[in-house]
Amino acid sequence: MYETTLWLFSMCLLLGSVVGLLAGLLGIGGGLLVVPALVWLLPKAGIASHLVMHIALATSLASIVMTSMASARNHFKLGNIDFSVVKTLAPGIIAGGLGGSVVAEIIPSHYLPKIFAVIVLCLAIQMLLSMKVINNKPLPNSLACVSSGGIIGLISSLAGIGGGSLTVPYLSYYGIEMRRAIGTASLVGFLIAVSGMIGFIYAGVGSESLPAFSAGYVYLPALFGIAATSMIATRYGAALVSRLPTPTLKKLFAVLLLVISIKMFLS
């Protein structure tokens, strides 16, 4: 058992390096890559098939807690976070993040990869087409913002992502300048990840067949492996932005996501 756990930890160190590099270079959330990678790795570590998707989503969200916290701190120092927007969205975001874990527990486990695949497919198309709709309308009333936050949090939690791919376009649509939209989305992503992680930990307590070193559905060896290298690799990815054709790489990554989503949907 310990040999298998060590193998998985080593693979997650490598995964974290790739995720961190891409996050810094392309500005994408790691969950889009972490979840399908864990879906492939976890069964090889002997984890029961009916637990794989829950553990992948929970562990991805837990890793995003650490990376989004670091990102939000940097954006706070740069003055890029609009706290009034965060305050308006937060109730829905937190409820949606928790709700995602509840929905994931209710839905039969064999449907979860297909739901993830559909969400990733939509995000990949958005990324591939670089759709940017900018409006000068003010944010809607509080009830509408809470509802929007709930939808963003729910979808993000079900996909194991921080929600930047949803939050940034939403804020841009209402005329929030891109730099502040990205900074605000980093803090929103932290709230999604924390609430989703807590929900998955609570939902997983007492579940049968959970592997050793688990906190609910969060698998700690995978979490520590991803976090250990991703936070370091992000810096190197950011340093490569000016040297590599980032828009082209982003489109190539979107194509990769399309392939992953189709494969997961058909499998």
Q: Among 161, 141, 37, which Cα is nearest to 96's?
A: 161
Local structure of 67: helix, strand or coil: helix
Structure tokens at 212: 């050793």
Q: How many other C-beta atoms can be found within 10 angstroms of the C-beta atom of residue 141? A: 10
C-alpha to C-alpha distance for 23 and 16, rounded to whole angstroms: 10
pTM: 0.89
β-bridge mates for residue 218, sequence order: 215
| Contact status, residue 114 vs residue 264, Cβ threshold 8 Å | yes
Instruction: Check: CB of residue 36 under 8 Å from CB of residue 69.
Output: no
Give Cα 113 to chain centroid, integer Å. Answer: 15
Specify which residues 214 forms β-bridges with. 219
Contact assessment for residue 191 and residue 72, using Cβ atoms and an 8 Å cutoff? no
3-state class (DSSP) for residue 219: strand
Contact criterion met (CB below 8 Å) for 101 and 155: no
State the virtual CA torsion across 129, 18, 69, 206 in degrees, nearest 10: 100
DSSP H stretches of helix in 27-111: 31-44, 49-77, 83-106
Both tokens of residue 229?
A: 């290298």
Contact (Cβ atoms closer than 8 angstroms) between residue 100 and residue 196: yes
Measure CA of the first residue to CA of the last residue in the chain; give whole Å.
Answer: 28
Alpha carbon 108 to chain centroid, angstroms: 21
Per-residue pLDDT of the chain (267 residues; tens, 9 = 90+): 678 999 999 999 999 998 888 777 766 667 888 999 999 999 999 999 999 999 999 999 999 888 888 778 878 888 889 999 999 999 999 999 999 999 999 998 889 999 999 998 888 887 777 655 556 677 888 899 999 999 999 999 999 988 888 888 888 888 888 788 888 888 999 999 999 999 999 999 988 889 989 999 999 999 999 999 988 887 777 677 667 776 777 787 888 888 888 888 887
Radius of gyration over alpha carbons of the chain, in Å?
Answer: 17
**CA atoms of 121 and 1, how far apart (whole Å):** 36
